[in-house]
Amino acid sequence: MFGLIGHLTSLEHAQSVARELGYPEYADQGLDFWCSAPPQIVDTIKVTSATGQQIEGRYVESCFLPEMLATRRIKAATRKIVNAMAHAQKNGINITALGGFSSIIFENFNLQQIQQVRNIKLEFERFTTGNTHTAYIICRQVEQVSKPLGINLSQATVAVCGATGDIGSAICRWLNARTDVAELLLIARNQERLQLLQEELGRGKIMSVEEALPQADIIVWVASMPKGVEIDPTQLKHPCLLIDGGYPKNLGNIIKHPDVHVLNGGIVEHSLDIEWKIMSIVNMDVPARQLFACFAESMLLEFEKLYTNFSWGRNQISLEKMDLIGQVSLKHGFRPLLMVS
Ligand code: NDP
């Protein structure tokens, strides 16, 4: 059995979902209540592969909300993640994806130190961040969506915001080694990590967001931001492809410009309907078939009986692992989302 640990994008979102799912006692509560709410299994999932193989999974709502980070309720945030992991393990789930901020909190606050959660000793090999599949899917989105928009990668400048992150660094590695992209712009706050990445790649220009955006033909947003930023589309190149891979979304505004094309990054579409309720709650356009690539990674590991923390730690995603997860993704019927708005 596979599992998905997820969370909602804001307090407002959580309140509306609680109402919708029939938990009225959660719907009128503020952030303090969510800080103390325990994890819950709220969905049972059935997935059929393109090969005909069937698997079953569970969705674990961690009750974490990004406002907990914004208001420095760090202890509550970290407790949410380890409690959700313990809950997944206690329920016999073999491989569980840590969606959205779960893996970021796990890494940033060194949660591998907290192995004991009450009477459960966490077995980390039962968990994956899902970041290898996410990075692979975003790279394929860059490759497959740019051409029809008239953007030729061999002449294109690609800006990666969140370049030094787990997903961002893997994307940079792939674009550097597997494509003939003309220029890479590397954006993050920590300059030392940016320089290390630049050394590893042997290229790439380190830039601020303000400097980079007007120069980019393709912008990949994979920064870990609890709230999105506002972008003025008139300041961007035309055409420009904006791939928003963040959860919550890195772009705070809905961009309406005929030459700025926005794509939901790190989203896959399955070739068959999935039996679940959860994706309509996170506002996917086609909830029976579209999902986060990190969640799909735990499904792929279950299909392949690869019970291992396939994606783990930080900045360890290799091209070989991206190739492997890409192959099984295709085999089981997943495709990158290619529809731009
Ligand atoms: P990491 O924490 O590993 O990396 C985050 C990156 O963002 C770092 O480079 C960090 O560098 C940078 N960053 C953070 N804040 C800012 C800022 N204000 N301005 C510029 N750069 C910033 O995160 P991951 O790589 O694991 O995840 C990245 C995003 O992808 C997250 O939003 C996550 O929720 C989402 N995600 C999506 C998935 C999917 O299936 N679609 C799956 C998993 C994650 P620095 O701190 O130096 O600024």
Give the pLDDT band (50/70/90) at residue 283: confident
Q: How far is the CA of 94 from the centre of ligand 1 (A)?
A: 26
Q: Say yes or no: 180 and 106 in one domain.
A: no
Q: How far is the CA of 170 from the centre of ligand 1 (A)?
A: 12
Q: Number of structural domains, the chain?
A: 2
Q: Say yes or no: 127 and 174 in one domain.
A: no
* Cβ 205 vs Cβ 183: under 8 Å: yes
Is 152 contained in some domain?
yes
Q: Say yes or no: 126 and 275 in one domain.
A: yes
Question: Is the CB–ligand 1 distance for residue 292 below 6 Å?
Answer: yes
Q: Say yes or no: 142 and 248 in one domain.
A: yes
Res 277: pLDDT: 84
Tell whether the model's pLDDT for residue 36 goes beyond 80: yes
Structural domain of 120: 2-131+269-330
Is 67 contained in some domain?
yes
Question: Is the CB–ligand 1 distance for residue 39 below 6 Å?
Answer: no
Nearest atom within ligand 1 for CA of residue 293: 40
Q: How far is the CA of 125 from the centre of ligand 1 (A)?
A: 23
Nearest atom within ligand 1 for CA of residue 194: 47
Q: Say yes or no: 17 and 118 in one domain.
A: yes
Is the pTM value of this prediction over 0.85?
Answer: yes
Is 290 contained in some domain?
yes
Secondary structure (H, E, C), the chain: CEEEEECCCCHHHHHHHHHHHCCHHHHCCCHHHHHHCCCEEEEEEEEECCCCCEEEEEEEECCCCCHHHHCCCHHHHHHHHHHHHHHHHHCCCCEEEECCCHHHHHHHCCHHHCCEECCEECCHHHEECCHHHHHHHHHHHHHHHHHHHCCCHHHCEEEEECCCCHHHHHHHHHHHHHCCCCEEEEECCCHHHHHHHHHHHCCCEECCHHHHHHHCCEEEECCCCCCCECCCHHHCCCCEEEEECCCCCCECCCCCCCCEEEEECCEEEECCCCECCHHHHCCCCCCCCEEEHHHHHHHHHHHCCCCCCCCCCCCCCCHHHHHHHHHHHHHCCEEECCCCC
Whole-number Å distance between alpha carbons of 161 and 159: 6
Give the pLDDT band (50/70/90) at residue 141: very high
Q: Say yes or no: 190 and 275 in one domain.
A: no
Question: Is the CB–ligand 1 distance for residue 162 below 6 Å?
Answer: yes
* Cβ 241 vs Cβ 146: under 8 Å: yes
Q: How far is the CA of 247 from the centre of ligand 1 (A)?
A: 9
Is 176 contained in some domain?
yes
pLDDT single digits (tens) 289-307 = 999 999 999 999 999 999 9
Nearest CA to ligand 1 atom 35: 246
Q: Which of 137, 224, 337 to mutate for ligand 1's pocket (most ligand atoms within 8 Å of CB)?
A: 224
Res 310: pLDDT: 97
Res 281: pLDDT: 80
Q: Say yes or no: 32 and 72 in one domain.
A: yes
pLDDT single digits (tens) 71-114 = 999 999 999 999 999 999 999 999 999 999 999 999 999 999 99
> Of the ranges 34-48, 182-196, 274-288, 318-332, which one carries the lowest mean pLDDT score?
274-288
Res 272: pLDDT: 97
Last residue of a domain, one of 250, 266, 282: 266
Question: Is the CB–ligand 1 distance for residue 266 below 6 Å?
Answer: yes
Give the pLDDT band (50/70/90) at residue 161: very high
Residue 162, phi-psi category: left (phi > 0), alpha (psi -120 to 50), beta (remainder) = left
Q: How far is the CA of 163 from the centre of ligand 1 (A)?
A: 8
Q: How far is the CA of 167 from the centre of ligand 1 (A)?
A: 7
Q: Say yes or no: 157 and 240 in one domain.
A: yes
Mean pLDDT of the chain: 95
Res 336: pLDDT: 98
Provide, rounded to the nearest whole percent, the portion of the chain with pLDDT above 70. Answer: 100
Whole-number Å distance between alpha carbons of 322 and 172: 13
Is 29 contained in some domain?
yes
Is 335 contained in some domain?
no
Give the pLDDT band (50/70/90) at residue 240: very high
* Cβ 61 vs Cβ 17: under 8 Å: no
Q: Say yes or no: 139 and 219 in one domain.
A: yes
Is 141 contained in some domain?
yes
Nearest atom within ligand 1 for CA of residue 223: 7
Q: Say yes or no: 193 and 112 in one domain.
A: no
Q: How far is the CA of 196 from the centre of ligand 1 (A)?
A: 17
* CATH number of the domain within which 207 lies: 3.40.50.720
What is the Cα 278 distance to its own chain's centre? Answer: 16
Is 336 contained in some domain?
no
Last residue of a domain, one of 232, 266, 300: 266
Q: Say yes or no: 161 and 273 in one domain.
A: no
Res 284: pLDDT: 87
Question: Is the CB–ligand 1 distance for residue 57 below 6 Å?
Answer: no
Last residue of a domain, one of 266, 287, 316: 266
Q: Say yes or no: 107 and 225 in one domain.
A: no
Q: Which of 141, 167, 194, 198 to mutate for ligand 1's pocket (most ligand atoms within 8 Å of CB)?
A: 167
